[in-house]
Amino acid sequence: MQKVNQFGTMQMLAESLLDGFVKNKDILCSGNVGIGTGEGINGELIIWNGKSYRVDGNGNITELDDDFPIVYANVHKSNFKFVNHFNNITLELLRKEILDIVGTKNIIFSLLIDGKFKYVNTRSAFKSNKPYPGLEEVAKNQVNFSKNNVEGYMIGYYTPVLYQGIGVPNYHQHFISKNFDFGGHVTDAEILSADVSIQFFSGIDIELPISNNDYKNANLTNINKLKEIINKSE
């Protein structure tokens, strides 16, 4: 079974380790679908059909060039399996139903929701520069967006809590509209009509910035700090 490819960790972001250590072209060699963020939390990234898009702090969407620096990403080679078609359901309830279908909270999987949404609420952030703020400070300055009656793709991952510090526990989803004019990190949504597909993974293949001195000298042991930041920002 395939593993999900991850670049960086969430704990790195919590501790202000925001240097981009891989390029867009590198992550696209590892997968054609996924999510992430650029150096300095430079927007919210959506990788779809082998291309990478950034939703910036103004909500504008641009396709990334090959050398765009990335600090965190999850990507994989798409092999989704259709699960079911859903109508008139909140994202919160859909997430619960998917976990009931999966039957366990201990397996990593990717979730693709393709369809029409009554509304989608998202957020993004402007790029920070060195000395980088912590993820908590970045979260305070994020910009929120919302769109009604939008068609698009919601792409993300479910990560078991046992991976706390490596990834975002539970669901982490990004959105991009089918006409590429709206997107970001998903905070809430309601589905009107959508096909839902899942892809399971046997584990995580992680690449870390082992040549970066800030990373080598950092204290990354305070996992509870990340949990507190996520609880405040979601």
d(CA 108, CA 168): 11
26-30, 68-72, 161-165, 180-184: which range is least confident on average? 161-165
Question: Six-digit token pair at 34?
Answer: 């996924």
Instruction: Enumerate residues 6+ apart whose C-beta is below 8 A from 136.
Output: 14, 228, 229, 232, 233
Average pLDDT, the chain: 95
Question: Six-digit token pair at 13?
Answer: 């972001």
Binned at pLDDT 50, 70 and 90, residue 234 comes out as: low
Determine if residue 43 is left, alpha or beta; phi over 0 gives left, psi from -120 to 50 gives alpha, anything else beta.
left
On the question of pLDDT at 101 being above 80, the answer is yes
Nearest to 8 by CA among 78, 93, 80, 75: 75
| pLDDT digit string, tens, across residues 151-204 | 999 999 999 999 988 998 999 999 999 999 999 999 999 999 999 999 999 999
Question: Six-digit token pair at 141?
Answer: 């300055």
On the question of pLDDT at 71 being above 90, the answer is yes
**Percentage of the chain with pLDDT > 90?**
88
Single pTM value for the model: 0.96
On the question of pLDDT at 223 being above 90, the answer is no
CB 46 within 8 A of CB 35: yes
What local confidence, expressed as pLDDT, does residue 233 receive? 58
What local confidence, expressed as pLDDT, does residue 115 receive? 97
Binned at pLDDT 50, 70 and 90, residue 68 comes out as: very high
List domains and CATH numbers for the chain: 4-233 (3.30.1330.80)
| Helix or strand run (H / E) with residue 172 | strand 170-177
Tell the residue number behind the tokens 């909270």, with chain if given.
Answer: 105
Binned at pLDDT 50, 70 and 90, residue 228 comes out as: confident
| pLDDT digit string, tens, across residues 125-158 | 999 999 999 887 888 889 999 999 999 999 999 9
DSSP-derived letter for residue 167 is: B
d(CA 165, CA 181): 32
CB 165 within 8 A of CB 227: no
CB 121 within 8 A of CB 44: no
